[in-house]
């Protein structure tokens, strides 16, 4: 399978703990995006990378959230001191760069549940 891969698929943790998710994009894609999705809603943009550079962060991304893409390939999203409101599906997508018309392809997400 050469699609976007995310792990773990599910994460259950206690409030206040730190969690880290990993995303492996489609190999030739230089853009990588993180989104958050809550039940009954569409995904909401969090942040995005072109190669290793983080080029935009949403206001949804509080200072407890940090994302990295150190070598321009896989990315990690860390949430520190988790809160109940962080419970959601965290989705990663990747695409090629370059002009209009490069669709983003999504992984199956990491479902985070905060106890």
Partner 1 sequence: GENVGLHLPTLSVQEGDNSIINCAYSNSASDYFIWYKQESGKGPQFIIDIRSNMDKRQGQRVTVLLNKTVKHLSLQIAATQPGDSAVYFCAEVLNTGANSKLTFGKGITLSVRP
Interface residues with partner 1 (CB under 8 A) are 4, 6, 31, 33, 35, 37, 39-45, 48, 50, 55-56, 89, 91, 93, 95, 97, 99-109, 111
57-86 burial, b for 16+ CB within 10 Å, e for fewer? eeeebeeebebebeeeeebebebeebeeeb
Q: Nearer to partner 1 by C-beta: 79 or 93?
A: 93
Q: Is 52 left (phi over 0), alpha (psi -120 to 50) or beta?
A: alpha
CB of 9 to partner 1, least distance (A): 9
CB of 13 to partner 1, least distance (A): 17
CB of 51 to partner 1, least distance (A): 11
CB of 11 to partner 1, least distance (A): 13
Q: Nearer to partner 1 by C-beta: 44 or 83?
A: 44
Distance CA 104, CA 29 (A): 10
């Amino acid at each position: 399978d050469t699609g976007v891969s995310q792990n773990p698929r599910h994460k259950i943790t206690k409030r206040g703990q730190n969690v880290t998710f990993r995303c492996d994009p489609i190999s030739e894609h230089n853009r990588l995006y993180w989104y958050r999705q809550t039940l009954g809603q569409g995904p909401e943009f969090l942040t995005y990378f072109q190669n290793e550079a983080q080029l935009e962060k949403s206001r949804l991304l509080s200072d407890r959230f940090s994302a990295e893409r150190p070598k321009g390939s896989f990315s990690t999203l860390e949430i520190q001191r988790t809160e109940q409101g962080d419970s959601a599906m965290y989705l990663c997508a990747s695409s090629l760069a370059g002009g209009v018309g490069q669709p983003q392809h999504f992984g199956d997400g990491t479902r985070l549940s905060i106890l």
